[in-house]
A and B are shown apart, each in its own frame.
Chain A
Amino acid sequence: MIGQSRVAELEMPGAAVEGVSSRPAQSYWNESWERIRANRVGLAAGILILVFALIAIAAPLFSALLTHFLPQTIDLDVTFHPPGKPNWLGTDELGRDTLTRLIWGGRVTLGVAFLTVAISLTVGSYVGMLAGYYGKWVDDILMRLVDTVLAIPAIFLFILMSILFRPNPITLAIIIASVGWGGVARLVRGEVLSVKERDFILATRSIGARDFRLMLRHLLPNVLPVLIVSASLGVGQIILIEAALDFLGLGIQPPTPSWGNMLTNAESYFFHSFWLVIWPGIAIFATVLASNIFGNAIRDAFDPRLKS
């Protein structure tokens, strides 16, 4: 794919012009997409995340049509039921269906992860963009703010904020994002600093573009690859943080299931009902691994030079 566009670069005045028009436009995005598609493992990881996300979105559908249980339905007659029928992945100490809780827990866990990433990216890229673009005192103030945020031991901040605001999925996302945006801001700032020195930014300024247009129309798309990579790697990290908080009892509160608090809950029954630990463990493990692999795949696709 890369070779083809190279050939077209050779301009022969008067010749070879005719064939040119039939060649499809290969954008940066097209080429990156081609490279992702060529990376089987990366693509599989991406599909896994997508499947998990779809299952999570369709959780009510699944529990109604597939498992025929609700996540909070207690049935004390079937406690600690091992995997089998009708509870495919077994039941917990209150007789709740593990598969159903896993699906609903994914909804919470993935929901928190995606929401956190969305908040950190939005805030972080605004701050990084402003700091990198305007420089000088704007940069100083914003980046010292980022330094400050990143200097606070995150886990203590999470614990403190979890105590202050009793966490539901949305407040939990805000709590985790309140630290996460700092890293994104630094990343975006660095990228903006390098992109804004490139000639096309000066050229765009010379046609009378406003700062707003330069930032959103011209700088942002050039920073986007970095953001996408950071988003997909971020999902994994945030799931781990969220699981850790749940495990400490500071995250999503029972009876609402999340993968993290399912683990916490299962801790005491590990020896006689190991499946209660295995399933949420696998779910977390697989999602985090997939998100890391997919993140790396995207990074390689956007910048093939990194992969050697």
Chain B
Amino acid sequence: MTQPLLEVQDLRTVFTTKDGIVKAVDGVSFELLPGETLGIVGESGCGKSVTALSIMRLQRPGKILGGKVMFKGQDLTRVSEYEMREVRGKEIAMIFQDPMTSLNPVFRVGWQVAEPNRIHQGWDAKKAMTSAVSMLQRVGIPSAASRARDYPHQFSGGMRQRAMIAMGLTTTPQVLIADEPTTALDVTIQAQILDLLRTVNKDFGTATILITHNLGVVAGMCERVIVMYAGKIVEAGPTKDVFANPKHPYTWSLLKSIPRLDEDRHEPLKPIEGLPPSLVDLPSGCAFHPRCSFKVERCSRDVPALLRVGETQLAACWVTQAGTELKGA
């Protein structure tokens, strides 16, 4: 077994709002192996992004209440702000959802792509710019040297996201966290960016955490997947196993709700009944039980732990942990 590169243990992040305390991330544990691509899926507001931000300790105004983020033998939740800055952008880089707003409108793109190296390596403007241009070229920006002198508004969405990826990679980090990197892009550009991320993962050996709500993206990109619901991991395992044989009713319903090309077109889609719970006032027991078609009496009483179900998967569900197969309508 290879040593994990990044190990998140029982991470808990909360936001204090006027309605109460929001447990955005509630006891999340996972590990990231060197060079792998790990998917985190879930619907909006389930805590995917906050998990990512908490790893970088950029979760403000949220607060990390507990847990550990082990990286290179140190717990990132405890290191000083100074040490954390050394990690950000150098060891762990992050790409954000909306490339239209993630670049500073007043600086040239090349300058911004060069910035991580100026911060972390102390390179002068010229040296950093040279490496920025070659990086822009590697991520597929045509005539990179002259485009580097452009301002962000002269770039299209796809090119901006490429520039963001270039910015993340100039320091050759060990971990790349991509937070919904394709959500704001149209479908053809999405495919290009995903291709690029795959190439990056292969060429640079950068371990990638890919956060998305798009199951198709996960299926195409990730070896392992984590499914989150209401701030908790409800299922985790190798992507092909989770998709072929989900062990949590939420995953099962998610997969059922996707239209399939190989199914009868007249079959109506099956959306998940009900609404995601309010994170301020979670249902008792398993947070998914009000929407679950498999629920048993125990589900509204006790919170299930994330335990091994089947050969390779982990699931937090009383039903499947008891050995019941998820089948039917």
B-binding residues in A (CB < 8 A) = 5, 8-11, 13, 17, 20-21, 23, 25-28, 198-200, 202-210, 213, 218, 221-222
Instruction: Give bound CA distance, A13 to B56, whole Å.
Output: 34
Closest B residue by C-beta to A221 = B106
Is residue B278 within 8 Å, beta carbon to beta carbon, of the partner chain?
A: no
Q: Establish whether residues B154 and A26, one from each chain, have CB atoms under 8 Å apart when the complex forms.
A: yes
Task: Please pick, from B56, B94, B120, B149, the residue contacting A25 in the complex, using a CB distance under 8 A.
Answer: B149
A11 to B192, CA, bound (A): 12
B96 lies within 8 A of chain A by Cβ: yes
3 closest A-B pairs by beta carbon, nearest first, are A207-B89, A11-B156, A208-B88
Chain B residues whose C-beta falls within 8 Å of the C-beta of A202 in the assembled complex: 58, 96, 102
Are A25 and B151 in touch, CB under 8 angstroms? Answer: yes
Cα-based distance from A221 to B107 in the complex (angstroms): 9
User: Considering the chains assembled together, what is the distance between the CA atoms of A269 and B64 in angstroms?
Assistant: 75
For chain B, the bracket of interface size reads: 35 or more
Contact of A205 among B58, B156, B188 (CB under 8 A): B58
Known: A206-B88, A208-B120. Is A199-B146 also a contact (CB below 8 A)? Answer: no
Instruction: Say yes or no: A208 contacts B106, CB within 8 Å.
Output: no
Which of A5, A21, A206, A209 lies in contact with B153, CB distance below 8 A?
A5
- Asked whether B103 is an interface residue with its Cβ less than 8 Å from the other chain, the reply is yes
CB pair A207–B88 under 8 Å, yes or no, is: yes
Most buried by A among B104, B105, B143, B168: B104
B82-103 interface bits toward A, Cβ cutoff 8 Å, 1 = contact, 0 = none: 0001111110011011100111
* A21-B143 contact, Cβ under 8 Å, with A207-B115, A209-B119: yes
- Encode B277-297 as 1/0 by CB contact (under 8 A) with A: 000000000000000000000
CA distance A152 to B9 in the complex (A): 55
Assuming A28-B105, A203-B164, A222-B105, what are 13 further A-B pairs, CB within 8 angstroms?
A5-B154, A11-B189, A17-B143, A21-B143, A26-B151, A26-B154, A27-B151, A205-B58, A206-B89, A207-B115, A207-B116, A207-B119, A221-B104
**B32: Cβ under 8 A from any A Cβ:** no
Residues A205 and B88 in contact, CB atoms below 8 Å apart: yes
- Indicate if the CB atoms of A209 and B96 lie closer than 8 Å: no
A23→B143 CA distance, assembly (Å): 12
Identify which of residues 113-156 in chain B touch chain A, using a CB-to-CB cut-off of 8 Å. 115-116, 119-120, 142-143, 146-147, 149-151, 153-156
Question: B46 near A: Cβ within 8 Å?
Answer: no
- Contact (Cβ within 8 A) B102 A200: yes
Asked whether B108 is an interface residue with its Cβ less than 8 Å from the other chain, the reply is: yes
- Whether B104 and A222, one on each chain, are in contact in the complex, defined by CB atoms closer than 8 angstroms, is yes
Q: In the complex, which residues of chain A have a beta carbon less than 8 angstroms from the beta carbon of B102?
A: 199-200, 202-203
Give the CA-CA distance A221 to B211 in the complex, in Å: 32
- Chain A minimum-CB-distance residue to B156: A11
Q: Is B159 an interface residue (CB 8 A)?
A: yes
Write out the residue numbers on chain A whose beta carbons fall within 8 Å of the beta carbon of B89.
206-209
In the assembled complex, B47 has its CB within 8 A of some CB on chain A: no
Q: Which residue of A is nearest B141, CB measured? A: A17
Residues of A within 8 A of B157 (CB): 11
Give min CB distance, A6 to chain B, whole Å. 9
B167 part of interface (Cβ distance < 8 Å): yes
Contact across chains for A9 and B156 when beta carbons are under 8 A apart: yes
Shortest distance from the beta carbon of B137 to any chain A beta carbon, whole Å: 13
24 A–B contacts, CB within 8 A, in A order: A5-B153, A9-B154, A11-B157, A13-B192, A17-B143, A25-B150, A28-B106, A28-B151, A198-B101, A199-B102, A200-B103, A200-B105, A202-B58, A203-B164, A206-B56, A206-B93, A207-B115, A207-B116, A207-B119, A208-B87, A208-B120, A209-B89, A209-B119, A222-B104
